[in-house]
A and B are shown apart, each in its own frame.
Chain A
Amino acid sequence: MQPLEMSAVDLVAALRQGDITAVESATVFLDRIEATNGSINAFLAVDREGALARAADIDARRKAGKPVGPLAGLPVALKDVLCTSDMPTTCASKMLEGFRPPYDADVVARLRRADAVFLGKTNMDEFAMGGSNENSAFGPVRNPWDLSRTPGGSSGGSAACVAGDMAPVAIGSDTGGSIRQPAGLCGITGLKPTYGRVSRRGLIAFASSLDQIGPMARSAADCALIMETIAGHDPGDSTSLAVDVPRYTDLLDRPLAGVRIGRVPEHFAAGLDPEVAKGVEEAFAVLMAAGATVHDVQLPHAKYGIPTYYLVAPCEASSNLARYDGAHYGHRCKDLGQRTAGHTGGFESPLVEMYCRSRAEGFGPEVKRRIMLGTYALSAGYYEAYYAKALRVRRLIRQDYLDAFQTVDLIGGPVSATPAFKLGEKTDDPLAMYLVDLYTVGTNLAGVGGISFPCGFTKSGLPIGFQLQAPPLAEPLLLQAADRFQRLTDWHRRRPQAVGVAKT
């Protein structure tokens, strides 16, 4: 089998056994990126030189019998929201164009120690705000299954590069569905871990209480492999959990007999595409055939998920993004200081002018919209009615989940209401765009984990995603159920024809 078609688990094994070198493996993927990125735009930066040097070093160490990490030679793509000391980190924003952090995110450092090889940084919605990747300042990503359609977002580049065989594994981040929704729309597997399971240090914050980093790959088994490296306590992130990391890969192959899966009837209400509904129902049938039982459960406050999310997330974002003010790093408006003294162009001071113009030029429209939403909702006189109330509803939503998990072990359902939509279809309607997060925001508000994986295709050949959500720290069960499903189906093995799988 060629590296492009291998799972990450198989590729790591082939590298370990010497069937392929790290340089060969990196070269195959770098060439594939070179050939296809022009049509997909999944990568914002490709580090061919760095990746090959790193791969050569790993090969040399392995040859010399020196120790190598558990992922030695595995090519990995990083969402451009993760700080990397050797590659630019832009969050797909003009604000951070060319910005190079002086440090690695904790996740990046862990992957480096494990001897993964970084291919480059993937495209995304600007500052992870969006569900279609159309908010990138550097152009949208195209879905490898249909280049006229969105890959989803905000981790659209990470999803598309895995679906398009440009990387076996990518790292994404999920604030309201940003791993699971693009994974669903691109026919790959994406895990959003429990809040605190993976360190957020070096993840450029969108909404701190919701953001979580996770793996995106072709299978649950590959996600399990990556989780063993990226999960774990980080004393540098106060919200990271001091809980031991299980050997996820050892916990996969277990029967599903007796596992109770919840089904939320409201998920199947009007608005859900019939083909998606069919695919999801068939997935439940597969899981039942594997021994799981399916039960109706209620999440009574789920209907408030979107309004709650679109208060909590913008409020935090309005503060998190205040640092991009032109003063210390990032974009600063150009012609400051050319004005004559005393003339401040309608601004109350040259400083305020620099702030306003730098931010106006550096941020895209969706980022500005959310900063304004959050600023408004936190303002004196509105805080109680909006932010404080949203926090109270958030607690109710979390309680709904914890109550439901008293009677079921997992909750299953659709990832998104429709398959991948056309680029440009929703760009003029922000509210319609916000609804793409309908099935995914609850997981983040509750702080629990969720996984998305393909469960079928539409007649026109677009992937349909299935989502499972689990109680806090039940990632082993999420991965086990998804892996069991993937042992019984081959949806995750289907490759898109649009860009073709290069035979090397």
Chain B
Amino acid sequence: MSTTAPYTTIIGLEVHVQLMTRTKLFCGCSTKFGGAPNTQVCPTCLGLPGSLPVMNRRAFDLALRAALALECTIAPFTKWDRKNYFYPDLPKGYQISQFDLPFSSDGFLEVVDPKGAFEPCRVGIVRVHLEEDAGKSMHDEAAGTGDTRIDLNRAGTPLCEIVTQPDLRSPQDARAWLNELKLLLVYLGVSDCNMQEGSLRVDANVNLHIPQPDGRIAKTPIVEIKNMNSFRSVERALTYEAARQWEDWQATKAEMGKTPKQTRGWDDPAGITRAQRHKEESSDYRYFPEPDLVPVTVSQQQIASIRGEMGEPPVSLRKTLAAKWNIPAYDADVLVNQGRELVDYFEDLATRVGEGKVASNWMQQDVLRILNETNGTVSDFTVRPEGLADLIGRIKKGDFDTSRAREIFAEMVTSGRPVDNVVAGMGIAAVSDDDVISLCRELLAANPKIVADVKSGKEQAAAGLIGQAKKKNANVNPGKVRAVCIDLIRGME
């Protein structure tokens, strides 16, 4: 939101994440993505007559982990409810979800920018609950029949629904917050948050608060936006929608409560939101307690044991890394935001190198750059921390300078070979001190003008010798040549 906007944008999010369980929430079928349609199904997830659900304890524990990391209060007693509606990808005619007694509520997640680009933003969590996913409907227009094909492989996959308070105030904040949420859930091992595969889905509720001349705040009708398939789309859709609501307000002065909540779909190529049919949001889901499942109780011991296996969340890991390795908050932020594996790589490297900042610089300027360029992941990265530490050690020893080391590093990445091997392959041999001295004597003899300049105090004149030295032997360390030459000239006096 620009500081001059005559309104405040109010945003709340509803996030669905698929939990990383091997099997579905209420049956033993695989949750693996990408199987041939209707091959990961059984009587329960097909909703066949007589079939019954049995809760997957692992899914419940993962959801607990997410809720605890979101600082939620965990209910000691929670139950399941049926949400009734007819749709072909919902074979039972109801979804098993949680209505009035979700297993957790009232938490928050904060996102802070280390460079201060935005204010720290704490977003309240209304509730986190667990439910089963529906199947997928594929509208087969190509066949020309208008038939819809149903794939029930996804039906029954465990979903965690995270509902925020309307605490976000800009599309940019919403995107930043979603990034932080995703990072947290991936760190926790709760979800892979892969939006392409649908394991993370976001709906947003947005309206505008517009101060009136009489001091009253006018509120535009809340719009729910669906069909956003990336965080970038979320930001764009919210930006579009806020502007659309502002225009609509100026034209109609329509306020909240006077019209029903509207659902709009984000059309990404067109860059606009479109109204969806009213029918769906006026549905009466006739929630009632699921009689086929027993309520779940959660003890303090269970909570303690879940906490014990949680690992450090990003928010505190950033502080830990900065303090432990004496690196700037910005560095720690960049490293942590890349995920747990990269942090582990960094810590391994820093331990071997012995200097956090040197290791961090290599991570940011070299490792991350190459990963970005190649779209690779750190787990597949050919140079392991010990190889990189070796290279950095050789720089410190003076075997070659940083720019030469970068060339070596690039070759290590592409070839997968260790430092020594690459150095030999590139014809790079360490030049002995005696060789450097005899080379320098040769140069000084051939360049009396430079010798005179240096003697008269212009040490920068020695730079002229370095180019010549490189021509005679490409492997010499320029810094060393310079230092030796100056020493020799001084020794002439």
Query: CB within 8 Å of B: which residues of A?
Result: 82-83, 89, 91, 96, 99, 101-103, 105, 200-205, 207-209, 235-239, 315-316, 318-319, 321-323, 325, 327-329, 341, 348, 350-351, 355, 375, 378-380, 383, 387
Contact = CB atoms under 8 A, between A and B. Distances in A.
A322 B93 contact: yes
B328 interface: no
A380 B50 contact: no
Interface stretch (B51-59, B197-205, B247-255): B51-59
Interface stretch (B6-14, B80-88, B343-351): B80-88
Contact of B50 (A201, A351, A383): A201
Contacts of B54: 235-238
Interface of B: 43, 46-55, 82, 84, 86, 88, 91-94, 146, 150, 279, 284, 286-288, 291-294
B355 to A, nearest CB: 56
Contacts of B293: 238-239
Given A96-B49, A204-B49, A238 B84 contact: no
Nearest to B285: A380
Pick from B49, B88, B92, B146 the residue with the most CB of A within 10 Å: B49
Nearest to A387: B288
A208 B291 contact: yes
B94 A236 contact: no
Given A319-B93, A322-B84, A378-B84, A328 B50 contact: no
Given A102-B48, A319-B94, A379-B286, A238 B86 contact: no
Nearest to B94: A319
Given A102-B43, A327-B88, A315 B49 contact: no
Given A205-B50, A322-B86, A238 B288 contact: no
Contacts of A329: 48
A322 B294 CA distance: 21
A322 B287 CA distance: 14
30 contacts: A83-B49, A96-B49, A101-B43, A101-B48, A201-B51, A203-B50, A205-B292, A208-B291, A209-B291, A238-B54, A238-B55, A239-B291, A239-B294, A316-B288, A319-B82, A319-B94, A322-B94, A323-B47, A323-B93, A325-B86, A325-B88, A327-B88, A327-B150, A329-B48, A348-B279, A351-B88, A375-B286, A379-B284, A383-B286, A383-B288
Contacts of A341: 146
Nearest to A90: B49
Nearest to A379: B284
Contacts of B286: 318-319, 375, 378-380, 383
Contacts of A89: 49-50
Given A105-B50, A239-B292, A379-B284, 13 more contacts: A89-B49, A91-B49, A204-B49, A204-B50, A209-B291, A236-B54, A238-B294, A239-B291, A239-B293, A316-B288, A322-B86, A329-B48, A378-B287
Contacts of B43: 101-103
A176 to B, nearest CB: 15
B49 A200 contact: no
Contacts of A325: 86, 88, 93
A412 B288 CA distance: 34
Contacts of B91: 323, 327-328
B85 to A, nearest CB: 9
Nearest to A354: B88
B351 to A, nearest CB: 47
B99 to A, nearest CB: 11
| A202, A322, A341 — most chain B CB neighbours (10 Å) | A322
Nearest to A312: B291
Contacts of B287: 378
A323 B288 contact: no
A287 B84 CA distance: 49
B462 to A, nearest CB: 83
B52 A355 contact: no
B93 A316 contact: no
Contacts of B92: 322-323
Contacts of A207: 291
* Shortest beta-carbon contacts, A-B, top 3: A322-B93, A208-B291, A378-B286
A325 B84 CA distance: 13
Nearest to A96: B49
Contact of B52 (A91, A201, A383): A201
A205 B150 CA distance: 24
A377 B54 CA distance: 27
Nearest to B44: A236
Contacts of B88: 325, 327-328, 351
Contacts of A383: 286, 288
Contacts of A237: 52, 54
A319 B88 CA distance: 15
A322 B47 CA distance: 10
A103 B46 CA distance: 13
A420 to B, nearest CB: 30
Contacts of A202: 50-51
B86 to A, nearest CB: 6
A336 to B, nearest CB: 11
B46 A328 contact: yes
Nearest to A375: B286
Nearest to A359: B86
Contact of B86 (A200, A208, A355, A387): A355
B49 A238 contact: no
Contact of A380 (B52, B150, B284): B284
B452 to A, nearest CB: 94
